[in-house]
Structure 1
Amino acid sequence: MASLLRRLARPAVLLPVGVPLGLYTFAKLNPDAATAYYKRAFAWGCARSMDFSEKKLTELKQDVFAGLREQGTGALQVLEIGVGGGNNFRYYPPGTSVIAVDPNPHFDQYLKENSDKYPDVKVTKFIVAGAEDMSGVAEGSVDAVVCTLVLCSVQDMDASIREVKRVLKPGGKFYYLEHVRHPTNGRAQFMQDLLTPVFRVLSDGCHVNRETWKHLEGAGFTEVKYRIEGNLRPKFMTQILYGTATK
Structure 2
Amino acid sequence: MAFTVHVLQLAISVSVFPIFLLHFLGLWNWICKKFFPYFMVQFTKSYNKEMAAKKQELFGNLQEFAGSPGTLALMEVGCGTGANFKFYPPGCRITCIDPNPNFEKFLIQSIAESRHLQFERFIVASGENMYQVPDNSMDAVVCTLVLCSVQNQEKFIKEVHRVLRPGGAFYFMEHVAADPSTWNFFWQRVLKPTWFLMFDGCDLTRESWKALEEGGFSKLNLQHLQAPLSWEIVRPHILGYAVK
Q: Normalising by the residue count of structure 2, what TM-score does the alignment of the two structures yield? A: 0.86
Q: How does 1:79-158 map to 2 (within 5 A)?
A: 79-158=75-154
Among 60, 68, 80, which residue is 1:66 paired with?
Answer: 60
Measured against aligned partners, the alpha-carbon deviations of 1:114-163 in whole angstroms (never above 9, x if no partner) come to 11111121221111111111111111110000000010011111111111
Measure, in 2, the Cα distance between the counterparts of 1:24 and 1:190: 22
Measure, in 2, the Cα distance between the counterparts of 1:128 and 1:113: 17
Aligned 8 A contact 1:98 1:123 in 2:
yes
Measure, in 1, the Cα distance between the counterparts of 2:109 and 2:79: 13
Measured against aligned partners, the alpha-carbon deviations of 1:206-244 in whole angstroms (never above 9, x if no partner) come to 111111111101111001111111153454541110000
1:191 deviates by: 2.1
Report which stretch shifted further, 48-57 or 207-216: 48-57
Point out where structure 1 has 5 or more consecutive residues left out of the alignment: 1-19
Rg larger in 1 or in 2? 1
1:108 deviates by: 0.6
Q: Which residue of 1 aligns with 2:8?
A: none
Aligned 8 A contact 2:225 2:238 in 1:
yes
Q: Normalising by the residue count of structure 1, what TM-score does the alignment of the two structures yield? A: 0.85
Matched residue of 1:54: which SS? helix
Pairing 1:181–2:177 present:
yes
Report which stretch shifted further, 88-97 or 48-57: 48-57
Aligned 8 A contact 1:232 1:239 in 2:
no
RMSD: 2.0
Measured against aligned partners, the alpha-carbon deviations of 1:165-210 in whole angstroms (never above 9, x if no partner) come to 1110000000000001124634332222222212101101111111
Point out where structure 2 has 5 or more consecutive residues left out of the alignment: 1-15
Alignment identity in percent? 35
Measured against aligned partners, the alpha-carbon deviations of 1:91-110 in whole angstroms (never above 9, x if no partner) come to 11111111100000011111
Measured against aligned partners, the alpha-carbon deviations of 1:5-57 in whole angstroms (never above 9, x if no partner) come to xxxxxxxxxxxxxxx6666555544x3x5433321200122123321221121
Cα pair distance change 1:123/1:235, threshold 3 Å: same
How many residue pairs get aligned? The number is: 227
Measure, in 1, the Cα distance between the counterparts of 2:215 and 2:79: 23
Amino acid in the other structure paired with 1:61:
K
Pairing 1:243–2:221 present:
no
Matched residue of 2:156: which SS? helix
Cα pair distance change 1:194/1:28, threshold 3 Å: closer
Measure, in 1, the Cα distance between the counterparts of 2:47 and 2:184: 22
